[in-house]
């Protein structure tokens, strides 16, 4: 496979075929993210992509899922994306699901009909970073979209029948904005009503803008108890039809996996026990990105 730069994928795509169709991220200015700082955004040439699909056809026959890398494969023009998905279906018929990262900008470039075309060719799930439902936070982290726009584009994906996994970040509002961030994120998640929610706990990455703000004392990172309280408030304000709310990423202090609304009360009670010191939290040395 012809990989360029660092390759990133969601935790749930750990066993997937990783097909790199772009390098870097088309936005790449979020203050907290260092994933693609060393990569220039490019769309890889068709010949290389098709050669990698051919390689996968011979060497990846036990993997039933495929993830399109890097940070924003959905931004590819439809006339280029359709042949890629058609080749995956033709050459890798055992692949049952294709996934990709997505953002509000790339979704806006496609009609619901075009998204349905992608779904029919195997694109079954998209991973989208909400980060926060609070517009003040989204502005401060340079997300590039307001919450209303992110919600609108997320609902557009769902209308096309593509499953959605939404990411929120605990601690991203600092200490002062924590409560508002949690409430507004719960409100946004309720409106989107995704199949999956993934809550990560902020880990400051050296050489990012947010890390520099922290070094200068302009950003106060919440501690474990503050992040747990934030998670509890967020879940309290989140109402999903039948979504899975995960907070079991390696960055989190208390692993949680809850089906909402069924497990909501039990999950809130579990966090109460952790805040009371009855449950041990993950130590710092075991946390990771």
The 3-state secondary structure of 73-127 reads HHHCCHHHHHHHHHHHHHHCCCCCEEEEEECHHHHHCCCHHHHHHHHHCCEEEEE
Model pLDDT, residue 269: 97
Model pLDDT, residue 110: 96
- pLDDT tens for 102-137 read 999 999 999 999 999 999 999 999 999 999 999 999
Model pLDDT, residue 62: 94
Model pLDDT, residue 289: 63
Q: What is the pTM of this model?
A: 0.94
Weakest-pLDDT range from 22-31, 85-94, 159-168: 22-31
What one-character DSSP code corresponds to residue 212? H
For the chain, which residues make up each domain, given as ranges? 11-284
Model pLDDT, residue 160: 98
- Domain 11-284 in CATH 3.20.20.70: yes
């Amino acid at each position: 496979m012809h990989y360029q730069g660092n390759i990133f994928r969601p935790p749930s795509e750990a066993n997937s075929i990783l097909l790199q169709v772009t390098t870097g991220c088309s936005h790449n200015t979020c203050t907290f993210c260092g994933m693609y700082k060393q990569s220039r955004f490019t769309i890889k040439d068709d010949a290389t992509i098709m050669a990698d699909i051919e390689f996968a056809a011979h060497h990846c026959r036990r993997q039933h899922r495929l993830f399109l890398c890097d940070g924003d494969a959905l931004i590819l023009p439809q006339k280029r994306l359709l042949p890629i998905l058609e080749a995956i279906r033709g050459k890798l018929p055992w692949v049952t699901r294709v996934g990709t990262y997505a953002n509000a900008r790339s979704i806006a470039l496609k009609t619901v009909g075009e998204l349905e075309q992608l779904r029919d060719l195997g694109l079954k799930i998209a991973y989208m970073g909400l980060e926060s439902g609070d517009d003040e936070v989204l502005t401060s982290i340079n997300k590039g979209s307001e919450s209303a726009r992110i919600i609108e584009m997320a609902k557009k994906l769902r209308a096309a029948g593509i499953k959605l996994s939404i990411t929120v970040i605990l601690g991203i509002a600092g200490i002062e904005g924590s409560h508002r961030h949690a409430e507004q994120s719960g409100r946004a998640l309720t409106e989107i009503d995704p199949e999956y929610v993934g809550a990560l706990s902020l880990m400051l990455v050296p050489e990012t803008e947010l890390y520099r703000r922290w070094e200068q004392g302009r950003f106060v990172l919440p501690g474990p108890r503050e992040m747990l309280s934030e998670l509890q408030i967020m879940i309290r304000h989140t109402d999903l039809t039948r979504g899975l709310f995960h907070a079991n990423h390696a960055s989190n202090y208390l692993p949680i996996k809850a089906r909402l609304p069924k497990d909501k009360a039990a999950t809130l009670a579990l966090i109460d026990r952790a805040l009371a010191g009855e449950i041990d939290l993950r130590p710092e040395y075991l946390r990771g990105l």
